[in-house]
Amino acid sequence: MEKLLKSVWGDVFAVIAGILFTLSFSPFDFSFLVFFALAFFRLSLIDLTVKRAVLRGFLFGFGIFGLGVSWVFASMVVNEQAGFALPMFLTLLYCSFWAIFPAISAYLYVKLPVSNRLDWLVFSSVWILVEYIRGEWVLGGFPWLQIAYSQLDSPLSGYIPVLGAYGTGLIMAMISALLIQVILDKKFRKVYLLGIISLFSLGAILKSVDWVTVSGNPVKVSLIQGNIAQKDKWAVENRNLTLKQYYDDSVAHWQSDVIIWPETAIPAYFEDVKEDYLLPLEREAIEHNTDIITSLPYKDKAGKLYNSVLVLGAERAMYKKIHLLPFGEYLPWQPVSGYLLGLMNVRLGDFSSGKVDQPLLKVAGHHFVTSICYEDAFGEQSIQQVEQARFLVNVTNDGWFDGSIEPYQHMQIARMRALESGRYLLRVTNTGVSAIVDEKGKIIRQAPVMERAVITSDIKPMSGLTPYARIGNKPIILLIALILFCSLVGRYFLKSKD
């Protein structure tokens, strides 16, 4: 077995393990596979040279991201003039870039351990530290395919409102590493097995705890999924039809307290539709005691462009998106990225970021936390003002990725925010997945994908804070840093003795 893993077959198996890793996430949802994939990855790195371990890590990462973010290809060929060859090349390049991060994990793992009986702890810490760096810092953060998202429906989801995505991920990485420890260290096999069982059991116990309470009467909400094809969305000749469609679907649900439209549901600047469309719509909404949450691009007097959410109703207000999407709302790596996108005739907006300390929006007498598109992938952003909020609202346009697995992955990520914060989540998208998620992260209503639809339900305003909403990510990251620091110091002293 050892000889096989050190051969080229070990490299092949690493790619396969990476693919199995991705199958743990939506829409596949084989959640148990992530443990075996990570366990194999750890086993395959034992006694490798640093150079070979880095290659092994890259191949494992390419298996993960080659399947897991292959949807980036779909976003580039929405424009039929883009062709096939260049989008495919850029997709491979994009997947390869993110595959570097498991390679970094492999490098750190083979360099740091000081004890065969403790290196499972180093492996776990390294994996989550690199997840954190990738998810929060690189290109503004890309938290896709982080291991905790695969466990939203498992006993381990009990850790999520306590420790968040990274803390839960650390527990999972420990379980995966301990699976290999059971094989390698026969003397303490029963101890490791007991540790694994205990971690699952504690998660199940925590899952039964209610961290928050209902605050106020139910609120009736209607979520409108317009299903406007991305290639048609911004065509000027389609604008009036789009505006009429959203108006008609809203009028049919005036009995709701709140009506929500998806990201950039209005394909026009605020000033261009303010007098003829928005203000009359607002007056009608007020007459029916309804608030409308919509989304459109907003340009200020200085000419800065914002992706925004607008509340129409008794308390009109606007939220400007803070966390912009790289290669979607701004272009890193200019001028190369701009040149390549120009070859595919892809034109993107040059958006500005909104202020971090924007006040919460309010509808039906309740404040709520707003996120636009992939802002819902960042746990700490969602909990910053959650104490004053009674629910979460996310508006998204995943129409760029129709026919791919991205909308399902994104829905899974959004569910995490509901569970972390202990708040209902109202998620409205252009083409799917639109859903109402309760404070336990469970989907209670969902619209069919790629269909024009409206879903209506009563939601419960929630108050109180989960442990994660109080502490955020810092304690887990500090714990990981302490583990790795101790490992580094231990390695130094061992070398000194030699």
pLDDT tens digits along 122-169: 999 999 999 999 999 999 999 999 999 999 999 999 999 999 999 999
Active-site annotation holder among 131, 233, 282, 321: 321
Q: Which sequence spans correspond to the domains of the chain?
A: 2-210+474-497, 213-465
Query: Could you tell me which CATH class the domain 213-465 is placed in?
Result: alpha beta
Catalytic status, residue 263: yes
Paired sense of beta strands 435-437 and 424-429, if any: antiparallel
pLDDT at 8 over 90: no
Contact at 8 Å (CB) between 185 and 41?
A: no
Active-site annotation holder among 373, 406, 439, 460: 373
Query: CA 473 from chain center: how many Å?
Result: 15
- What's the confidence (pLDDT) of residue 344? 64
- What's the confidence (pLDDT) of residue 497? 59
Q: Does residue 365 or residue 5 have the better pLDDT?
A: 365
- What's the confidence (pLDDT) of residue 142? 96
Active-site annotation holder among 95, 131, 263, 282: 263
- pLDDT tens digit sequence for 43-81: 999 999 999 999 999 999 999 999 999 999 998 887 767
- What's the confidence (pLDDT) of residue 189? 94
- pLDDT tens digit sequence for 401-440: 988 999 999 999 999 999 999 999 999 999 989 999 999 9
Catalytic status, residue 486: no
Catalytic status, residue 220: no
